[in-house]
Chains A and B, each alone.
Chain A
Amino acid sequence: MQRPPAAVAPGARRYEAIGVSKSFDGANVLTDVSVTFEAGQVHTLAGENGAGKSTLLKIMAGVYQPDAGELHLGGERLAGLSPRSAQRRGIYLVPQEPALMGSLSVTENLFLGILRRGRMRTVDWAAMRREASAYLARVGLTVDPDARAEELSIAQQQLLECARALAHRCTTIFFDEPTSPLTAHEAATLFSVMRSLRTDRYSLGFISHRLDEVLQMSDRVTVLRDGRSVLSGDRSALDRASLVTAMVGRELTTRSRARPHLDASGAREVLAVNGLTARPQFEEVSFSVREGEIVGLAGLVGSGRTEIAEAVFGLRPVERGTVRLAGELLAHRNPRACIDAGLVYLPEDRGRHGIFADVDVERNVTAGVIPRLQRWGPLLRPSAERSMAEQATAQTAVRMASLGTLMRSLSGGNQQRAMLARWLLAGPRVAIFDEPTRGVDVGAKDDIYRLIGELAGQGLACLLISSELSELVATCDRAVAVYEGHVVGELQGADVTDANLGALVVGGTPR
């Protein structure tokens, strides 16, 4: 009854999406995209953030329903696919953030939904544990099958998701940006697992926006841009240049620098971070930002960049290190003290940490300056608050029906503008922007950066965090690179290039 997984020679069926379109809240995310996955191939979906790669795979895995288009598996048309039925047909999506059951064992997570049953239809733990070790070995995961899933590292959890796909006898396996939270070493482990699955004629889908990975891993590449398939072909027929052109496309021409590089070395140092340490997230981090300067903080997800920013803003405790604002030491930092001193932080996860989705725009915008709202005795003055909010939202050009509109109903770009308006009200001297264009339409991205450029022009010291190196290159006057919690290099002016930054953030040295 028990079969070792290696003996399963799957020969995955050909899986096609034909003319798939999808829109969310009226915004087209995918338009008429076709793609084919075949056994024994790694087919990479490449493209910048927001290009629609993830949505496409989610549609093919049954998470979303397409608005138009068809899915064909080995010639059979699939309609009304759900994640569950997709899995039954051998299609498995390894999500970007592993969705495991934290308090349950590795074994149980592997077999969730297909628990093995023995005598009297009771759960047969012994059989599952035996089987589990085979699947775990298959993906090179050396953990105790009885360990709880929450005890595993992210990389191990991803491999566990992969083993889960095998346990569910899935032969078409999609990886949604698996490498973004991984170190280079962990990514290499994952790649070797993927290669060995390819050898066993599994069909693999892979999302990445990192050129090197795309070139290294793919048999076939489809490039998406703004929800359309702009290039599809065999890896052998593609080179770096053609991929870059396809991925970046028109943006190469439009996303030129909005402003010249600013040499701020003479300007006043507004933010000075010295020896900031909170192990294991980051250690001995030092950098500075000057008046009117835009400094990029470049690093991969997991490099510690967000943790550094949150520590500067007083959201995380540190072991040692200092933060000075215009020479003044910010000793006992908390968000309130930082805001009052003129330091603001635009969080990376807008939905969770930024907006109040079910609150109107007005109260969203004034949320950062509640203590400074005008009062009449102890009572707030609504008219004063409204005019404050009106002014700030006009300055950042938030498009909305009225200030009473719910934040939830605004588009991503407009939500981000409202967030910028919130921090403008605080009258900041330094602003930390953490991934300000995440979840923002392509068109709105440039606007956000233009806004940041304008603010810098008015003397605001800006620290810009992004994993989109091209965005940093187009915006920053200077860039600081972090790798595994350490500052590994600094680039000035024209040296801030894709190539140099790209080398630094993976722990290499610039050319």
Chain B
Amino acid sequence: MSTTPVSSAKPGASQARSKTAGRQETIWTVALAALLVVLLAYFYLAVPDFRSLGTSGVLALCEQFLFTGLIALGEAVVVLAGEIDLSTGAMSSLSGILMASLWQQGLNIWLATVLALFAAALGGALNGFLVTRFNVSSLLVTLGTQFIFGSVATAVGGNTPPYNFPRSFVTLVGTGTVGPVPDQLLVFAVVAVAAWLLVARTRYGRSLVLIGYNRAASRYSGIDVRRSLLWAFVASGLLAGMAGIFVSGYYNAARDDIGDSLLLPAITVVVLGGVDIFGGRGRMSGVILATFLLGFLTQGLLIRGDSSLTATMVTGVVLVLCLVLKVALDHRAWAQLRELLRHRVSGMGELRAGRGA
């Protein structure tokens, strides 16, 4: 990063370069970008149906997975801080249902959308409050609230959740385009850039990342850990809510069960994007790339004729594979493995010595 030598060059300098911060993240991000290109090239060359879509068709595919990306962006904020939010999928369902129900009650649909997003942020705040106030595991809290949000969504939606929204709404958040570019993609681009800047270039983002790396040291450095975490959950809830609105617009119907199928892809995107599940390490640019990578992979498989089930399973397999790869790339893991082997070998020596005695 900085090339300004503060001390005069010394023997260890070249070795120290490999310990420069951010290098691993850069490699990961570049690898994701390269994979995305390879993947698109493969589908373009090998799958005729994919090729026949044309540019606008391929861009339109994005509408199938951008809501996952929205959830992933929010999830990434929480994961960067070393927590997790399992309630995001259910929150998407809930916000979509809330929006639709409010609209059905006669409210202007845009006002209903704003209110639903507000409710989603509030739900995130509830998660954050429970986690920070009682200092308990977010894994368990959000596992619990996941089912609470889901139940509320089912209850509010009733047997036939509202559908057939006004055309203006469906066009803008659902299927509309500007030229060949879907509206959704434009909105996602704005949100993604905002999330990226938030993490990489604001005071809040800095605090969040440091909390993820070392929570105690953050506290000793004067960072308000609780408040930062609370806002991370709010961001996660809000973006999940936004995803719920998108889904409703795209399908022109609210669904109370859509969220369940969004959680795992979203977490997969976060992990694939290179965000360390223990917090701190990771970049939003990676998450954004991973959204498209996983999205096009799934859609491409579907177009090739694989079942949606296969596509879902591929998500799980990709998650496992990239984790295995990460473990393998982790320098320290290798060092430990070597140490372990040496230990084993010397242990055998010891065994022999022991027998001799």
- Asked whether the complex places CB atoms of A and B closer than 8 A, the reply is yes
**Whole-angstrom distance between the alpha carbons of A403 and B197 in the complex?**
22
Q: Is the CB of B201 within 8 A of A404?
A: no
In the complex where A352-B217, A405-B19 touch, is A367 in contact with B2 (Cβ < 8 A)?
no
Interface string of B188-206 (1 = CB under 8 A from A): 0000000001000111001
Centre residue among B1, B20, B217, B345 by max chain A CB count within 10 A: B217
In the complex where A82-B350, A358-B281, A360-B1 touch, is A402 in contact with B220 (Cβ < 8 A)?
no
Nearest chain B CB to A60's CB is how many angstroms away? 15
B-chain residues with CB within 8 Å of residue A398 when the two chains form the complex: 6-7
A-chain residues with CB within 8 Å of residue B357 when the two chains form the complex: 76
Q: Is the CB of B217 within 8 A of A356?
A: yes
A-chain residues with CB within 8 Å of residue B223 when the two chains form the complex: 335-336, 367, 370
**Whole-angstrom distance between the alpha carbons of A85 and B221 in the complex?**
43
In the complex where A352-B217, A359-B213, A360-B20 touch, is A338 in contact with B12 (Cβ < 8 A)?
no
Given contacts A81-B350, A356-B210, A394-B6, 4 further A-B contacts (CB under 8 A): A80-B346, A362-B2, A373-B206, A400-B16
**Whole-angstrom distance between the alpha carbons of A339 and B206 in the complex?**
18
Q: Is the CB of A79 within 8 A of B5?
A: no
Q: Is the CB of B1 within 8 A of A390?
A: no
Nearest chain A CB to B207's CB is how many angstroms away? 6
CB within 8 Å: A-B pair count: 150
Q: Is the CB of B202 within 8 A of A315?
A: no
B-chain residues with CB within 8 Å of residue A373 when the two chains form the complex: 203, 206
Nearest chain B CB to A325's CB is how many angstroms away? 15
In the complex where A356-B213, A399-B7 touch, is A363 in contact with B206 (Cβ < 8 A)?
yes
Q: Is the CB of B16 within 8 A of A347?
A: no
Pull 26 A–B residue pairs with CB atoms less than 8 Å apart, ordered by A: A76-B357, A77-B353, A79-B346, A85-B350, A334-B222, A334-B224, A335-B223, A336-B222, A338-B222, A352-B216, A356-B214, A357-B213, A360-B20, A371-B203, A373-B203, A380-B206, A386-B4, A390-B4, A399-B10, A400-B6, A400-B7, A401-B7, A402-B1, A402-B5, A404-B21, A404-B22
A-chain residues with CB within 8 Å of residue B20 when the two chains form the complex: 360, 401-402, 404-406
**Whole-angstrom distance between the alpha carbons of A291 and B136 in the complex?**
43
A-chain residues with CB within 8 Å of residue B216 when the two chains form the complex: 352-353
* A406 nearest in chain B by CB position: B19
In the complex where A358-B213, A358-B281, A359-B210 touch, is A380 in contact with B221 (Cβ < 8 A)?
no
Q: Is the CB of B203 within 8 A of A370?
A: yes
Nearest chain A CB to B228's CB is how many angstroms away? 10
Interface string of B61-97 (1 = CB under 8 A from A): 0000000000000000000000000000000000000
Q: Is the CB of A401 within 8 A of B13?
A: yes
In the complex where A356-B217, A359-B21 touch, is A390 in contact with B347 (Cβ < 8 A)?
no
Q: Is the CB of B1 within 8 A of A401?
A: no
- Does A408 sit within 8 A of B, measured CB to CB? yes
- Does A345 sit within 8 A of B, measured CB to CB? yes
Nearest chain B CB to A84's CB is how many angstroms away? 9
- Does B218 sit within 8 A of A, measured CB to CB? yes
Q: Is the CB of A336 within 8 A of B13?
A: no
* A336 nearest in chain B by CB position: B222
- Does A422 sit within 8 A of B, measured CB to CB? yes
* A402 nearest in chain B by CB position: B2
Interface residues of B in 37-82 (CB under 8 A from A): none
Interface string of A330-367 (1 = CB under 8 A from B): 00001110111000010100001111111110110001
Nearest chain A CB to B328's CB is how many angstroms away? 18
- Does A78 sit within 8 A of B, measured CB to CB? yes
In the complex where A354-B217, A378-B202 touch, is A401 in contact with B16 (Cβ < 8 A)?
yes
* A358 nearest in chain B by CB position: B213
- Does A393 sit within 8 A of B, measured CB to CB? yes
B343 CB contact (under 8 Å) in A78, A79, A82, A422: A82
Interface residues of A in 68-86 (CB under 8 A from B): 76-82, 85
A-chain residues with CB within 8 Å of residue B222 when the two chains form the complex: 334-336, 338-340, 368, 370
A residues engaging B (CB < 8 A)?
A: 65, 76-82, 85, 315, 334-336, 338-340, 345, 347, 352-360, 362-363, 367-368, 370-371, 373, 375, 378-380, 382, 386, 390, 393-394, 398-406, 408-409, 422
B-chain residues with CB within 8 Å of residue A394 when the two chains form the complex: 6
10 tightest A-B CB contacts, nearest first:
A80-B346, A404-B1, A360-B21, A401-B16, A335-B222, A409-B19, A336-B222, A403-B2, A367-B221, A80-B350
Q: Is the CB of A78 within 8 A of B353?
A: yes
**Whole-angstrom distance between the alpha carbons of A358 and B209 in the complex?**
11
- Does B219 sit within 8 A of A, measured CB to CB? yes
B5 CB contact (under 8 Å) in A352, A367, A401: A401
B residues engaging A (CB < 8 A)?
A: 1-7, 10, 12-13, 16-17, 19-22, 197, 201-203, 206-207, 209-210, 213-214, 216-224, 280-281, 343, 345-347, 349-350, 353-354, 357
**Whole-angstrom distance between the alpha carbons of A345 and B217 in the complex?**
12
In the complex where A359-B21, A367-B218 touch, is A65 in contact with B346 (Cβ < 8 A)?
yes
Nearest chain A CB to B174's CB is how many angstroms away? 31
* A422 nearest in chain B by CB position: B221
Nearest chain A CB to B272's CB is how many angstroms away? 21
**Whole-angstrom distance between the alpha carbons of A404 and B201 in the complex?**
16
Q: Is the CB of A380 within 8 A of B201?
A: yes
Q: Is the CB of A79 within 8 A of B213?
A: no
Nearest chain A CB to B225's CB is how many angstroms away? 10
In the complex where A85-B354, A394-B6 touch, is A353 in contact with B207 (Cβ < 8 A)?
no
Nearest chain A CB to B196's CB is how many angstroms away? 11
B-chain residues with CB within 8 Å of residue A367 when the two chains form the complex: 210, 217-218, 221, 223
Q: Is the CB of A380 within 8 A of B202?
A: yes
A-chain residues with CB within 8 Å of residue B219 when the two chains form the complex: 315, 335, 353
B-chain residues with CB within 8 Å of residue A400 when the two chains form the complex: 6-7, 16
B-chain residues with CB within 8 Å of residue A352 when the two chains form the complex: 214, 216-217
B-chain residues with CB within 8 Å of residue A357 when the two chains form the complex: 213-214
Q: Is the CB of B220 within 8 A of A345?
A: yes
B-chain residues with CB within 8 Å of residue A406 when the two chains form the complex: 19-21
Q: Is the CB of B206 within 8 A of A370?
A: yes
* B13 nearest in chain A by CB position: A401
B6 CB contact (under 8 Å) in A79, A82, A393: A393
* B214 nearest in chain A by CB position: A356
B-chain residues with CB within 8 Å of residue A354 when the two chains form the complex: 217, 220
Q: Is the CB of A379 within 8 A of B220?
A: no
B-chain residues with CB within 8 Å of residue A390 when the two chains form the complex: 4, 6
**Whole-angstrom distance between the alpha carbons of A355 and B214 in the complex?**
8
Centre residue among B13, B209, B210, B222 by max chain A CB count within 10 A: B222
* A398 nearest in chain B by CB position: B6
Nearest chain A CB to B322's CB is how many angstroms away? 20
**Whole-angstrom distance between the alpha carbons of A402 and B17 in the complex?**
8
